[in-house]
Chain A
Amino acid sequence: EAQVTQNPRYLITVTGKKLTVTCSQNMNHEYMSWYRQDPGLGLRQIYYSMNVEVTDKGDVPEGYKVSRKEKRNFPLILESPSPNQTSLYFCASRVRDGVTQYFGPGTRLLVL
C-alpha cells in the first residue's frame, strides 16, 4: 500500500531533550516536506526537500533541523525542544513536479 508513515504518533517530552520524528514514504517520491498544525493557524511548512541531500527552509524553520540521506526518509529533528513547539506535525511527499501531496497520519508532540 502506498503510504507515508510517521513515528512516533504521540510523544510527550521535556524542554531541551533532543528528539527525532521519523517520516518514510514508499512511493519513490522526490519531494518531501514537514508541516506543523496549530489551532486557528492551519498548517505551515517547516522544511522541505526536493531530493536526496537537497533541503531548504519553509515558513517556520526556527528550532528544527532535517536531513535527507535516503530518498524514502525525511526525519525532523528538534535539538532542544521548547513548549512553543507543542503541535501536530505532518510529513508529506509527492513526485518532483507533481501536484498532489500525500500526507502521513501526523505526530502529536507535547513539550513540557
Chain B
Amino acid sequence: AQSVTQLGSHVSVSEGALVLLRCNYSSSVPPYLFWYVQYPNQGLQLLLKYTSAATLVKGINGFEAEFKKSETSFHLTKPSAHMSDAAEYFCAVSDISPGNTPLVFGKGTRLSVIA
C-alpha cells in the first residue's frame, strides 16, 4: 500500500529564508505525486504535481519540487519565504493505474513565516 511521510508537523522560517518541506513516499512503482496547500479556513489548492515527466517540477507561487526516485522523496522548496506562504501543506501520492486512484495524503506540515 502506498503511504506518505511528511517530516515535521510544523516548520517555521523567517521571511526571505529558504522554505524546505520534506515528503517521502512508499510505493512499489513510481507514482504520481502532488503538493497541495491549504490556507486558513479554505479548501485545498494544487501547488504542483509530478506525473513522470521532468523530475524538477515548478508550481505556483514560486514553489518547486524535485522527484528523486533513489531517495523516494518529493521535497517542496521555495527560495524566499513570504508572509503569504503561511499555510498547511500536504504531500499526496496516487497510483498511476486507471480506476479509483485515491489520493493518499501525508499528515500535513504547517508552515509559519516570521517577519
Which residue numbers of A lie inside 8 Å of B, CB to CB?
31, 33, 35, 40-45, 48, 50, 56, 58-59, 90, 92, 96-97, 99-106
A to B CB contacts below 8 Å, 18 in the list: A42-B4, A42-B105, A42-B106, A43-B44, A43-B105, A45-B103, A50-B99, A50-B100, A58-B102, A90-B43, A96-B98, A99-B51, A100-B46, A101-B103, A103-B36, A103-B44, A103-B45, A106-B43
Which range holds the interface residue count of chain B? Answer: 20 to 34
B82 interfacial by beta-carbon distance below 8 Å: no
Closest to B42 in A: A105
Given contacts A43-B90, A43-B103, 10 further A-B contacts (CB under 8 A): A40-B107, A42-B4, A42-B90, A45-B102, A45-B103, A48-B100, A99-B94, A102-B46, A103-B45, A106-B43
**Residues B99 and A99 in contact, CB atoms below 8 Å apart:** no
**Residues A103 and B49 in contact, CB atoms below 8 Å apart:** no
Question: What residues of A have a CB within 8 angstroms of the CB of B92 in the complex?
Answer: 43
Set B51, B94, B102, B107: member contacting A41, Cβ < 8 A = B107
